[in-house]
Structure 1
């Protein structure tokens, strides 16, 4: 049975109850009293979390929030950020403790190599700063313990990949393709919109009387492919202007659109060929699916592992 025992100005309870308590209990402004000296704000098993640790963790988010919000909205978001920062720190301490218990370690040389890589990638890092050194060591340790305790235990079978492919097939769809021809009539001069529209109507009327599209295009079109009968060639769904895409959506091969107005002028479009939407075959996307399923399963296993760590731990929060 979950229990909460109040000890003066602190509370001792299973960590599995931490999130609920943080969100449901009004919290004093831990970070809003700059006159307070550094002190313990939480005990995670045998580890201490200091007020200065929380301030350092929260500083970038505080800066971001102060640029975007103000007044009551800012105060509310800062309080929420405090809860999230403390929760994140507690979870990180639990994982680092588990790494120590399992004998997972990172050498000084590995930390130095990681710092060098960060510098080569353009990051500003101070290798002499003890906090930076410790933070990089912690990050490497977290990666290593999660690899060992979570990712190494995740397997992805063929049946799972096929099920994912079936349930998310639209993710592997190829865009529909068209072979198009067009007649484009541009207003000339800029105030000649009415004349251009009338010219487009005449062209459309000629097509409805049965004249060949290519002949009408040569006669009327201002498009770059007019001399070739207006042939545009192959285009994929999504590459066309939205108005034209909508106009040709219901057309079968050989179908001709009505007049479509865009910023370029007036278009009459013929669908010469149409390749319906297809799907990449399973064998082609198999390794992509394996990565997606592995990532999904890893997250599920990680959350279960983290919950187990919380259920075994006790935390004392000192307000």
Structure 2
């Protein structure tokens, strides 16, 4: 089985949250983004691995790969990652690992240091291959993970108020109610009304929001959408911070639980990768305990 060797983070790989998918009402051209995290001067001493210094410049460059709630934590995580890397490089060279021992299945050549670490870990860390019964136990205990999401194929018409005062919101509400009365449950009338009246960019696609999963729209909109029958249009406008929405549910595709046979190979790969990750973390901790690390603590060592 192919495994991605993350030589910097050898514990159970943290799953970063998937980016929130938003309706076109929520996206915009505001531009910008978070300010880059600038590390302060470190409050710990020099970082060394068996006398080899991890320079502040190297830590400052590495810090971009370690998002953290504050700059000090990010600095520490970056320093720890580089210390682990240096520790593994020293051990690979001591063990006589050759670059030719590494390389991925596609035949691409890795840079020498990554190749050395790759070769060392592949030699020293052997995952436990899960059996059928272990895979089955995981499947039975985590059925919710193997269910396809319910999808809502939906559309909307956004009627935006002309101002922020309640009178403007009331006028927009009455306008939305009038449109609802004109279109009923007629799909073609809904599409035409979306093109003519909607303040959302989706108006160019007849108001279509595409296929929506639970959690991808603001709660008040999704709750109203859930209550609609297939091919149904809302009888009352629904308010959000963007304005009043006229909703239409084209169809609902209920999620289904995949069979064990469909996901058995995926579960086996996941359990084997987890076994390898735990083994790699233990190997690094043991290696750190047998070497001289200064200025940073590697998890699993005293």
- TM-score, normalised on structure 1? 0.51
Quick one: distance in 2 between partners of 1:264 and 1:80? 40
- Judging changes above 3 Å, is the alpha-carbon distance between structure 1 residues 140 and 79 closer, same or farther for their aligned structure 2 residues? closer
2:132 is matched with 158
Residue 275 of structure 2 corresponds to: 297
Q: What CA distance in whole angstroms lies between the structure 2 residues aligned with 1:310 and 1:293?
A: 26
**Residue 197 to residue 287, structure 1, CA distance change in 2 (3 Å):** same
| Counterpart contact for 1:260–1:268, Cα < 8 Å | yes
Change (3 A) 1:296 1:83: closer
Contact 1:61 1:81 in 2 (8 A): yes
* Corresponding residue number in structure 2 for 1:62: 60
Q: What's the counterpart of residue 32 of structure 2?
A: none
Separation (CA, whole Å) in 2 of partners of 1:237 and 1:61: 40
Which of these two proteins has the greater Rg computed from alpha carbons? 1
Map Cα deviations across residues 238-259 of structure 1 (whole Å, 9 max, x no partner): 6974353232234455583531
Aligned length: 231
Say if 1:260 and 1:117 are closer, same or farther in 2 by CA, change over 3 A. same
- Contact 1:200–1:259, Cα closer than 8 Å, also in 2: yes
Pairwise CA distance, 1:222: 1.7
| Helix, strand or coil at the partner of 2:133 | helix
Q: Is the 8 A contact 1:54 1:85 kept in 2?
A: no
Is residue 245 from structure 1 mapped to residue 222 from structure 2 by the alignment? yes
> CA separation in 1, counterparts of 2:59 and 2:293?
25
Matched position secondary structure for 1:267: strand
Question: Counterpart of 2:148?
Answer: 174
CA RMSD of aligned residues (A): 5.1
TM-score normalised over the length of structure 2: 0.53
Equivalent position to 1:222, from 175, 188, 193? 193
Question: What is the aligned counterpart of 1:30 among 46, 68, 85?
Answer: 46
Q: Is the 8 A contact 2:236 2:246 kept in 1?
A: yes
Q: Which structure's residues are more often helix, by fraction? A: 1
Structure 1 unaligned blocks of 5 or more: 1-26, 32-40, 43-48, 67-72, 119-135
Helix, strand or coil: the match of 2:99?
A: coil
Q: Are 1:199 and 2:175 an aligned pair?
A: yes
1:114-153 aligned within 5 A? 117=109, 136-151=111-126, 153=127
**Alignment check: 8 A CA contact 2:46 2:54 kept:** no
Cα deviations by residue, 1:7-47 (Å, 9 ceiling, x for unpaired): xxxxxxxxxxxxxxxxxxxx98437xxxxxxxxx66xxxxx
Counterpart Cα distance in 2 of 1:280 and 1:145 = 38
Structure 2 unaligned blocks of 5 or more:
1-42, 65-69, 198-205, 296-302
- The equivalent of 1:278 in structure 2 is 256
Quote how far apart the aligned CAs of 1:296 are. 0.6
The 1:306–1:138 alpha-carbon spacing in structure 2 relative to 1, beyond 3 Å, is same
CA distance in 1, matches of 2:158, 2:288: 69
What's the counterpart of residue 213 of structure 1? 185
Contact 2:233 2:246 in 1 (8 A): no
